[in-house]
Amino acid sequence: MKSIIIRILKQLINEPRTLALMLLAPLFVMSLIYLLLEDSNYTPKIGVVNISNQLVSNLSDNIDVITLLDNVEVDNLLENNELDAVLSMNNNTLTLTVLENNSKTTKSILLIKKELERSMSVCFETHYLYGKTDDSYFDSMGYVFLTLLVLMFTFIVSGMSIVREHFSNTLERLLMTPMKRWQIISGYTCGFGVIAVIQSLLLLVLTVFVLKVPIVGSFWLATLILGIAN
């Protein structure tokens, strides 16, 4: 099994294009996704509870506004993505509730605050069910794309290598040796797994330290889990 791992690693190191596809291409794609998700022309959709008609009318200029009843389940509407935010009035205090902070909710908050500053003087509070105030949409979805990129490029490169070895009869020669099938499978898995861990490390460094996506927990544990999972 050890010989297979060493052979796989040497094979990848001696193929610069394959190595670049596995290590550098995910970094480029991740950066491209970051640039694409940074700006959005999305029109926020908010629900209002006990809000004056004048304020609702003013908000409707830039936001899709839906009037809700007092007993409506706000959390369910937010979690089902039916609304981006809910603005309510209680004891002369306006409260804006959102599921988490992303580009949609950030735009909603900015538009609502701007309108409130223009219309009235009120106490304004914002509550997030998840996330922080300065999180962007990419901050919320970055790790989803990260996992998919690692999985996709690892699958592509490992699949290409196995197909190439099948046509060169390398696999057939391995099967004729005293080596057991599980040893062969484990050798290939560990060989590509080493590259997957390196790939995960590079992507996490880019995501956390360059693109500034927040992380909770151990950076090295996240790298290990991501490498093993892929």
In this structure, are 56 and 112 located in the same domain?
A: yes
Whether the Cβ atoms of residue 86 and residue 114 lie closer than 8 Å to each other: no
In this structure, are 55 and 28 located in the same domain?
A: no
CATH number at residue 91: 3.40.190
Report how far residue 101's alpha carbon sits from residue 48's, in angstroms, rounded to the nearest whole number.
19
In this structure, are 16 and 55 located in the same domain?
A: no
pLDDT tens-digit profile, the chain (230 residues): 777 788 888 887 888 888 888 889 999 999 998 888 765 566 778 888 888 787 788 778 777 888 887 767 788 888 888 888 888 888 777 788 888 766 666 667 767 777 776 666 656 566 767 666 556 678 778 888 888 888 888 888 878 877 777 777 777 777 777 778 788 788 888 888 888 888 889 999 998 899 888 887 888 888 888 877 76
Indicate the residue among 109, 130, 151 that finishes a domain.
130
Whether the Cβ atoms of residue 160 and residue 18 lie closer than 8 Å to each other: yes
Domain of residue 87: give its range.
45-130
Indicate the residue among 110, 130, 150 that finishes a domain.
130
Residue 40 belongs to a domain: no
pTM: 0.61
Report how far residue 124's alpha carbon sits from residue 142's, in angstroms, rounded to the nearest whole number.
30
Q: What is the phi-psi region of residue 108: left when phi exceeds 0, alpha when psi lies from -120 to 50, beta otherwise? A: alpha
Report how far residue 28's alpha carbon sits from residue 135's, in angstroms, rounded to the nearest whole number.
22
In this structure, are 179 and 208 located in the same domain?
A: yes
Residue 84 belongs to a domain: yes
List the beta strands (DSSP E) in 12-105: 45-49, 64-67, 85-90, 93-100
Residue 78 belongs to a domain: yes
Number of domains in the chain: 2
Indicate the residue among 99, 130, 161 that finishes a domain.
130
In this structure, are 96 and 171 located in the same domain?
A: no
- CA 132 vs. chain centroid, Å, equals 15
